[in-house]
Structure 1
Amino acid sequence: MTGKNYVFFFPYYNRNVEVAIEKALLGKNYVAEILPYAHILIGAVASRASRHNSPLRPDTIISIVKNAISYANTEEYCNTINAVIEIYSCESDNELGIATAVARAANCSFSARSGRSRNGYWDHGHTVRVIFAPNTTNYSLEVAEKRFACDNREALNTAALMVQLCQRLVDAPANLLDTTTLTEISAGHIDLLKSMGHDVSIEIISGEALREQGYGGLYGVGKAAEYPPHLVTLTYKPPNNTEPLERLALVGKGIIYDTGGLCLKSAAGMAGMKHDMGGAAAVLCGFLGLSRLLSSSPLSVTAVLCLAENAVGPLAQRRDDIVRLRSGVTVELNNTDAEGRLVLADGVYHATAPITITTNTTTSTNNNNNNNNNNNNNNNTNTNTNTTGVVNSHHPPDVLIDMATLTGAQRTATGAQHAAVYANNSAIETRLLEAGRSCGDLCFPVLFCPEFHAMEFGSSVADCRNSPASGTSAAVSCAAYFVGRNFHNSFNGMWAHIDLAGPVAQETATGFGVALLLQTFAASAFTPK
């Protein structure tokens, strides 16, 4: 934002503000002191971006906001300036991208410093308010006459809240956020949504029950850990028993910590592996956001969280072990550090398989025969019949999205800012790419050619191996292919795999993926009324 026109949108104005606007450099703040207790920091954002970047330049917004918060935290000002930071945004058609960028930058993220545990491990921070100026540079018009680009403040609050929740979950260490704790957190949010009147539910399969029900991929990866693996299924149904026009399924990789298993990672390679549940965190928080925003949309949502810790111990899987996945595919393990695709394989099968529903039917018969000659002579017969049956209610999803920090190769393929998208359909690929550019969760497509990827997984003793023969042959696509071969055979919908290994964290967690899901499937919540 540059130029004199903008100064009239600020609540405080004097000559210093106008000078600051003229001197502000792109991506940097320039301070204008108007009163001893009120300082204005002017940050300029470029009005153009390359075609694979977001025109909002959320990366620049994040830098500006972090700088402003750092400024407010300096010893010189923290005791004299109001603890509330107000951010004024001028001229934008997409408030979601700005709101989530500010939320990421201003996040009071996970902190285990002394005293923080009593406050839910929240770090201390300033209150941040975001004010969206009208979408105009015509300062001769009154602000009250102009319409904001987004009329739903609660939608923006929801998006910001869910992005920050995702950040905190991803930044939490595994000794404080194990599979059981994350499951309990998910259940707590489901209870909260129910109390708000939303039709949501949760189903949990864990530990030995996974083995008994055939989820060999998830069970095998997590069986050596202190806390058992969990398959957590969250469902949202449209209100008033409305038949959904579209069924969405989300699946998230939730490896709480990844040591690599017996194919042990190096010390440097293991650092930061608490972030390996970033896909499940994005799916969980995206689901929670969608459940709040879809009140008027006939869309049903299922979210499957595949939670496990890839630990080392007596029960750890070995190279050469053969695992049977829930889909029936047998896998020869040639790399225990390629575990994410095993848990996702069980997850996508679960998301696309028939749903078994137990039904109870009660039949009542009442036969009254009255004798007209004797009213006391009544023949009453009551018959009650209870029948229990099982119905396969098969409603496969129309759209399936899985999200995972699946490969280190993703960073090489699409970089640290763009997630890789592997899609079986150009429509869902385009939809995700456009949503990413709009909200700031950037994506870029990778090769989809399963007939070639299949050649990399040959095994002489099983249906396939879990790691490709060549690590340089489209590794991102090969890993995604492995996941995609495990759908239930009745699934014929659109599928996109999102590998977010790079953008999941920039030193600390970014909350990547939440805004992408909200923009893709609940865009109307952020559209002008």
Structure 2
Amino acid sequence: MTPRFAPASDDALPIWPLWKGDALPKEIGNPAWPEACGFRGDAGQICLLPDGSGAIVGALFGLGDPELAERERFAFARARKLPAGTWRIAAMPDGLNPEEAALAWLLGQYRFTRYKGQPADGPELVAPDGVDAARIESFAAAEFLIRDLINTPANDMDPSQLEAAATDLANSLGASITVTRGDDLLHENLPLIHAVGRAAQDAPRLIDIRLGDSGPMLTIVGKGVCFDTGGLDIKPPSSMGLMKKDMGGAANALGLLKMLAETGAAKGKRVRVLIPAVENSIAGNAFRPGDVLTSRLGLTVEVNNTDAEGRLVLADAMALACEESPDLMISLATLTGAARVALGPDIPPFYCDDDATALALAKAAKTARDPLWRMPFWPAYEGRIEPQIADLDNAPAGGMAGSITAALFLRRFAGKAQRYIHLDIYGWQPAAAPARPKGGIGQGPRAILTALPDMLP
């Protein structure tokens, strides 16, 4: 599915988005019909406007209360059964950002159709005046890629198939890609990736994509655990049901790469994407609780829970990335349940030691309506990730500050990056919302792209 705006047309029907309580537009003439229909501008309310013969000549669409922080509410105009055909926004009300409205419409087109066939044709929108249609279409296409990758079940999205998707994307963007698989991970000194993925039938691997050959370097590391049983510390069924989404960090990394390349934001920069792609499976050769593993960096890690595997595979990939001292390194990972307890599914926490970089990302998250919330690398908790018999503990006891201790663990492998940002994303929409159907979701890429000129000039 490719999100697209409709070509401009004189036959496009007008739609007037209105906040609750706004006066009806003068263009509709007699207000008796909307009033008789009970139109008040409530969120998602649609009033179709007929002419004297009953033909539809326009529509009113309710945006609801402007004080509410609900995102992408204009997507309701499509979702609430606006008739098929071509539409145009007749007038943009104060407080509704044209780019947000345009993106919301395109995101509202998304359907995961791999197993159920194509949806019926719906209404189309002409891009609002002043909007960079190609840029917004690129944002939506990247989001569709993220959603498709996460929504695909693990039997059709194992490490090999994630590699194939990454290869297709790299080829389409003119980027280079190399992949290290199986026992070659040991030969290339990537032992943690190998340890986590070695019990699976599909070999673990590290996917390495490069775009651009000059300028400051941005490295993106995405967690690619294609399915997580929890390993020998096996998850209960209630916790394992969504584990096809545990490669959501990798999906978001690939979506961000697509966005960077297609919008031109990668121009004049070197972009590298590293994805450790594994399944955390159970077999006789699975890594065990109590094992002590040696990382690429040389730090030893005591495995106190095999279900805390994401930080292990990220650690080796980040250590490799830091050997080039990137100007900015970003990790994207569906890493901890603690982040969801703290902030819920909609707001991923991010961690960054550099105040200027963190401020740029926080501002961009608000501008792009791609919410993020800064949390601290709290130094007083460093001792919690240091067990007695190894340098690091992958799963500190006690359960408190789990997202922070995971971030502190990762920071130990980011030392040679000039600046480092970690996003602990959820990657899943648990209930349908405007432009966000239940299922896989992008979290962070639009905010990162929007902040990039300030973070990496």
Same fold (TM over 0.5): yes
Q: Could you tell me which residue of structure 1 aligns to residue 15 of structure 2?
A: none
Give 2:405's aligned amino acid.
C
Q: Could you tell me which residue of structure 2 aligns to residue 216 of structure 1?
A: 191
> Is 1:481 matched up with 2:456?
no
Q: Could you tell me which residue of structure 2 aligns to residue 105 of structure 1?
A: 108
Q: Could you tell me which residue of structure 1 aligns to residue 257 of structure 2?
A: 287
Separation of aligned partners in 2, 1:406 and 1:17: 52
Separation of aligned partners in 1, 2:232 and 2:198: 13
Separation of aligned partners in 2, 1:401 and 1:511: 15
Separation of aligned partners in 2, 1:21 and 1:90: 23
- Over residues 317-350 of structure 1, what are the superposed CA-to-partner deviations in whole Å (9 max), with x where a residue is unaligned? 1101111111111111110000111111112112
Q: Could you tell me which residue of structure 1 aligns to residue 352 of structure 2?
A: 423
Q: Secondary structure at the residue paired with 1:192?
A: helix
**Cα root mean square deviation, aligned:** 2.9
Change (3 A) 1:18 1:406: same
Q: Could you tell me which residue of structure 1 aligns to residue 395 of structure 2?
A: 467
Q: Secondary structure at the residue paired with 1:312?
A: coil
Separation of aligned partners in 1, 2:316 and 2:227: 19
Separation of aligned partners in 1, 2:222 and 2:368: 20
Change (3 A) 1:440 1:307: same
Q: How does 1:297-312 map to 2 (within 5 A)?
A: 297-312=267-282
Change (3 A) 1:328 1:485: same
Q: Could you tell me which residue of structure 1 aligns to residue 119 of structure 2?
A: 124
- Work out whether residues 419 and 502 of structure 1, in 8 Å CA contact, stay in contact via their aligned partners in 2: no
Q: Secondary structure at the residue paired with 1:477?
A: helix
Q: How does 1:16-165 map to 2 (within 5 A)?
A: 19=35, 23-34=39-50, 35-36=54-55, 40=59, 42-49=61-68, 57-62=70-75, 64-65=76-77, 68-71=78-81, 81-82=83-84, 90-91=92-93, 94-113=97-116, 116=117, 123-133=118-128, 148=130, 150=131, 152-165=132-145
TM-score by length of 1: 0.74
Shift of 1:111: 3.7
> Is 1:203 matched up with 2:213?
no
Change (3 A) 1:256 1:131: same
- Over residues 436-476 of structure 1, what are the superposed CA-to-partner deviations in whole Å (9 max), with x where a residue is unaligned? 111121011112223x222112323221211112211x211
- Work out whether residues 340 and 426 of structure 2, in 8 Å CA contact, stay in contact via their aligned partners in 1: yes
Separation of aligned partners in 1, 2:208 and 2:372: 26
Q: Could you tell me which residue of structure 2 aligns to residue 526 of structure 1?
A: none
Shift of 1:15: 4.5
Q: Secondary structure at the residue paired with 1:44?
A: strand
Q: Could you tell me which residue of structure 2 aligns to residue 397 of structure 1?
A: 326
Q: Which has the larger radius of gyration?
A: 1
Change (3 A) 1:16 1:190: farther
Give 1:47's aligned amino acid.
P
Q: Secondary structure at the residue paired with 1:279?
A: helix
Q: How does 1:368-407 map to 2 (within 5 A)?
A: 396-407=325-336
Separation of aligned partners in 1, 2:307 and 2:266: 43
Give 1:476's aligned amino acid.
S
Separation of aligned partners in 2, 1:89 and 1:323: 61
Change (3 A) 1:125 1:328: farther
Q: Could you tell me which residue of structure 2 aligns to residue 439 of structure 1?
A: 368
- Over residues 280-308 of structure 1, what are the superposed CA-to-partner deviations in whole Å (9 max), with x where a residue is unaligned? 10111111110122268422211111211
Change (3 A) 1:515 1:99: farther
Q: Which runs of 5+ in 2 are unaligned?
A: 1-17, 432-437
> Is 1:499 matched up with 2:428?
no
- Work out whether residues 429 and 445 of structure 1, in 8 Å CA contact, stay in contact via their aligned partners in 2: yes
Shift of 1:213: 1.4
Separation of aligned partners in 2, 1:512 and 1:88: 31
Separation of aligned partners in 2, 1:401 and 1:165: 20
Q: How does 1:200-349 map to 2 (within 5 A)?
A: 200-237=175-212, 243-244=214-215, 246-294=216-264, 297-349=267-319
Give 1:226's aligned amino acid.
Q
Give 1:467's aligned amino acid.
A
- Work out whether residues 85 and 126 of structure 1, in 8 Å CA contact, stay in contact via their aligned partners in 2: no
Q: Secondary structure at the residue paired with 2:136?
A: helix
Separation of aligned partners in 2, 1:409 and 1:60: 29
Shift of 1:100: 3.7
- Work out whether residues 39 and 47 of structure 2, in 8 Å CA contact, stay in contact via their aligned partners in 1: no
Task: Flag the structure with higher strand content.
Answer: 1
Q: Could you tell me which residue of structure 2 aligns to residue 490 of structure 1?
A: 416
Shift of 1:168: 0.9
Separation of aligned partners in 1, 2:139 and 2:36: 31
Separation of aligned partners in 1, 2:36 and 2:61: 6
> Is 1:167 matched up with 2:147?
yes
Q: Could you tell me which residue of structure 2 aligns to residue 409 of structure 1?
A: 338
Identity percentage over the alignment? Answer: 26
Aligned length: 427
Change (3 A) 1:36 1:508: farther
Give 2:450's aligned amino acid.
Q
Shift of 1:19: 4.4
Q: Secondary structure at the residue paired with 1:58?
A: coil
- Over residues 35-87 of structure 1, what are the superposed CA-to-partner deviations in whole Å (9 max), with x where a residue is unaligned? 456673512144335xxx5xxx425344x24xx43535xxxxxxxx5366767
Q: Could you tell me which residue of structure 2 aligns to residue 381 of structure 1?
A: none
